[in-house]
Chains A and B, each alone.
Chain A
């Protein structure tokens, strides 16, 4: 079964800073998910990626399959980016069930 570790657990930054959140996993996968959860809110899918890099607005996700590592970057961070960011991977290669990290709580100070 895949094990997922995210770092850091908590991150506080000033508005405008470049943010990096990391995710490592233990078993080879076919695709990795990044999710966002605002306080008291639902969970939104940000990215699903299996190789290279994806970009959506100020968010960039990268993945290195060989190193079993993914990063989520936020450029020009804004207080509305404050949320918990969650990484999820299949339990094992091709499995339809996901294993989730415990999340990174991001706080952006104006």
Chain B
């Protein structure tokens, strides 16, 4: 199994509070991705990174920010959580981005009340 760890695995938070999710990899892969999974939708890309300090927005980036200060860590921050951000969040990694296999973390279930 690819070495990807997401933390926390579950979190309940109140509307308006900041939340940070962490993705840690031990594979030294260049690309890292944050997705959200909601009923009726396929996985949707929030942000991704193609190297240390190199990040770009995905299709549902509003309300989220990311940081990657080390190859192994990719942080997703909800600056002020809203109920619409209740979701399951998945981190993924791939070695070269295009045409390479993607490996996923176990997911983080976030509930905003």
Binding site for B on A (CB under 8 A): 4, 30-31, 33, 35, 41-45, 48, 50, 86, 88, 90, 94-103
Q: Choose one: A48, A50, A98, A103; the contact of B45 (CB below 8 Å).
A: A98
* Contact between chains at B102 and A97 (CB < 8 Å): no
Chain B count of residues within 8 A CB distance of the other chain = 24
Q: How many angstroms from the CA of A60 to the CA of B69 in the assembled complex?
A: 40
Which residues 52-95 of B have a CB within 8 angstroms of A? 58, 90, 92, 94
* Contact between chains at A44 and B98 (CB < 8 Å): no
Interfacial chain A residues near B99, Cβ < 8 Å? 30-31, 48, 50, 94
Interfacial chain B residues near A48, Cβ < 8 Å? 99-101
* Contact between chains at B98 and A42 (CB < 8 Å): no
Interface hub of A48, A94, A96, A101 (most chain B Cβ within 10 A): A96
Interfacial chain A residues near B102, Cβ < 8 Å? 33, 45, 88, 98
How many inter-chain residue pairs (CB < 8 Å) link A and B? 59
Contacts A97-B45, A98-B102, A100-B42 hold; do A42 and B107 have CB atoms under 8 A apart?
Answer: yes
Q: Choose one: B31, B92, B98; the contact of A90 (CB below 8 Å).
A: B98
Binding site for A on B (CB under 8 A): 31, 40-45, 48, 50, 58, 90, 92, 94, 97-107
Closest to A41 in B: B106
Main secondary structure of the interface of B (DSSP, over half): loop
* Contact between chains at A42 and B42 (CB < 8 Å): no
Interface hub of B43, B44, B94 (most chain A Cβ within 10 A): B43
* Contact between chains at B98 and A43 (CB < 8 Å): no
Pairs A–B under 8 Å by Cβ, sample size 12 = A31-B99, A35-B104, A42-B104, A42-B106, A43-B90, A50-B99, A86-B42, A95-B98, A96-B97, A96-B98, A98-B102, A102-B42
